[in-house]
Structure 1
Amino acid sequence: MGIFEVFPSMFILKLGIVAFYIGLVVMILWTVLKLIRGHYQKTGERKWQRVTAWLNVIILSPVIMPIVFGPIIGYYAYKIEPNWIEVTEQTFIDERFPKGIEDLTIVQISDLHTQQYGQREQRLVSKVNRLRPDIILINGDFINDQQGWEPVYEVLAHLKAKRAVYAILGNTDYYYGRESQIIDRMKGVGIEVLTHRAVKVEVGLQKHFWIVGLSERWGQHAYYGHVKYVDLAFEGVPVEDAKILMVHDPVQADMPILNKYNPQLILAGDNHGGQVGIPFLRHFSDYANRPYLGGTFYVQDRPLYVNRGIGVKTLPLRFLCRPEITVVKLRKN
């Protein structure tokens, strides 16, 4: 794979802009150095030598530091952090949740972007299964390209939940697969795909809540935020019942129609946490200007949790933004 396939042209452009500004700063500092030198040469050469030593360090640091630490940081971001999966726990409280729901262990993962059943995927399976989840929720974007489907089915076949594994499909899944075929193959490895529909989850005697799924279907007039797909997903779900909504793109939490159905929690993915944890450097990725990169937000007075995902896309690296498995704990107030 060539460098321009790994680093898109926009990345090269931004890298050139950064290099230009670094060069500009060096030129400004060098000009200041020349002016100061002229002043101190009049007052004594020894004092000037001490000053110029420090100024040389300041001027050369922007050049030397990337040369010294760049390869180390690059190796960490490319090889170490993408495989260093973090398990986080998030608790959400609502009076409409049924009593007994606190005993459920719900695990959320998202954005696997699988290309092979490799080290990261093996660690994902091991970490998820060690949590002994009752329910696993997967928020879409299983693959990066057509070749990823067979490895991802292998990953999914190894995930174990006491009750069920529910998934929705993301935009990338529709780019490289047919919906009906994906649903059939996932069913074969024990995954139930919620394509604009809901399932009832029993909790204790005559108590339950709902998990509602909105897959990110693409096509003519088929964008999954369209009103008809939201209505279809919530069909048969009583408004007064507790419900969790699974979406791929977190901006769907902004949809006014959700006030009609009033989910108590929205779980999303898609944005990978930005892949880079430093805002300035994030401009090298596709995530610089996206809202809801990762973590908990409150949108239309309801909680939205955005998982940082497992895989990577566009840039094959992560920096200060580890892959995430989320343990979702629900409690009645």
Structure 2
Amino acid sequence: MPEKVSRRSFLKRALGFLSAAFGINAGGYYYARDIEPRLLEITNYKISDNTIPQAFHNKKIIQFSDTHLGFHYDLKQLEELIKKINKLKPDIVFFTGDLMDEPNKYKESNKIAPLLQKIKAPLGRFAIYGNHDHGGYGSDIYKSIMEEAGFILLLNENRKIEISGSSIQIIGIDDAMLGRPDIKLASENMDESLYKILLSHAPDLADGASAFNINLQLSGHSHGGQIKLPFFGALVKPPHAERYHEGFYEIGSQSPLTLYVNRGLGTTRMPFRFLSKPELTVFTLQSNSKK
């Protein structure tokens, strides 16, 4: 779907919601604009699997996503986030896309890498492209920032993380809206016996990824709907996050892929969140293996 259509749809539906739910209530407007977007929720989950090696038992992964710096999210918030991440002492950190809202218009891009460099993760820091990382002629800007920050930027490729002779596989694919995701290329030369984590900004690509023996997919993009209605759910589901937009899903019948969709940290198009708090996700790996 063209970005222009998506933007118009987002604005129309979001404005309709705000008008219906809040009317002229300044308190409701203030909450959705200035309070909930800053109510960071740290969610904790255990991930168990027979293919997770004993060497990775209790290793901690942190996922953060969709900061959209420059639109209702600033460097001070990023700095506070990084302090929270380091306090949690992750072993691995994943960023699943959309660093800046408009990369070529963001005036403080030179200040981002020095902040991201402060993230401590002894087993590695990995990132992928989101649609906003490509948008605004941002592909090279984003690549430069993440590499300067010491992140491994995965573009339709995979890497191993090793501990004491045991490994897990990390796969990263390009964005679905403005990039060229290629799960087949990204999966080349993988060890099929290893536990595999796929990073895909777009959650709906999980349907195709489920055919590649992926154990866990981590995604963002949806902002959890950004604005939700009780008993109705997500009001706005962007392209490639229409099927899966928040939390856990099991995809496939045999050896199903587990998908987790992070709600992200910033906002886009409109500076509101309602019933969709910004999220930092902590996953603790649990090995069921005797190896």
- Superposed pair shares fold, TM > 0.5: yes
Structure 2 match to 1:45: none
Alignment of 1:85-164 (within 5 A): 85-115=40-70, 117-145=74-102, 146-148=104-106, 149-164=109-124
Separation of aligned partners in 1, 2:117 and 2:61: 18
Task: Provide TM-score, normalisation by structure 2.
Answer: 0.83
Structure 1 pair 151/18, CA: closer, same or farther in 2 (3 Å)? closer
RMSD: 2.8
Q: CA deviation at 1:98?
A: 0.7
Alpha-carbon contact 1:273-1:321 (below 8 Å) kept: yes
Separation of aligned partners in 2, 1:207 and 1:127: 29
Q: CA deviation at 1:76?
A: 1.4
Alpha-carbon contact 2:224-2:276 (below 8 Å) kept: yes
Structure 1 match to 2:4: none
Structure 1 pair 310/97, CA: closer, same or farther in 2 (3 Å)? same
In proportion to residue count, which structure has more strand?
A: 2
Separation of aligned partners in 1, 2:16 and 2:183: 44
Q: CA deviation at 1:276?
A: 1.8
Q: Does 1:167 align with 2:127?
A: yes
Residue among 289, 309, 322 paired with 2:277: 322
Unaligned runs of at least 5 residues, structure 1: 1-6, 23-61
Structure 1 pair 77/199, CA: closer, same or farther in 2 (3 Å)? same
Higher CA-based Rg: 1
Alpha-carbon contact 2:123-2:161 (below 8 Å) kept: no
Structure 1 pair 16/100, CA: closer, same or farther in 2 (3 Å)? closer
- Greater relative CO, 1 or 2 (CA 8 Å, sep 6+): 2
Separation of aligned partners in 1, 2:234 and 2:154: 32
Residue among 281, 286, 299 paired with 2:251: 299
Alpha-carbon contact 1:114-1:152 (below 8 Å) kept: no
Q: Given residue 136 of structure 2, which amino acid in structure 1 is its aligned partner?
A: Y
Q: Given residue 86 of structure 1, which amino acid in structure 2 is its aligned partner?
A: E
Structure 1 pair 209/293, CA: closer, same or farther in 2 (3 Å)? same
In proportion to residue count, which structure has more helix?
A: 1
Q: CA deviation at 1:117?
A: 3.6
Q: CA deviation at 1:82?
A: 0.8
Separation of aligned partners in 2, 1:272 and 1:292: 11
Q: CA deviation at 1:155?
A: 3.9
**Residue deviations 1:40-99, cap 9 Å, x none?**
xxxxxxxxxxxxxxxxxxxxxx9xx854xx211211111111112111011121111111
Q: CA deviation at 1:157?
A: 2.9
Separation of aligned partners in 1, 2:131 and 2:247: 21
Q: CA deviation at 1:184?
A: 3.2
Alignment of 1:252-291 (within 5 A): 252-255=205-208, 258-259=210-211, 261-278=212-229, 280=232, 282-283=234-235, 285=236, 287=238, 290-291=242-243
Q: Percent of counterpart pairs with the same letter? A: 30
Unaligned runs of at least 5 residues, structure 2: 1-6
Matched residue pairs, number?
272
Structure 1 pair 11/147, CA: closer, same or farther in 2 (3 Å)? closer
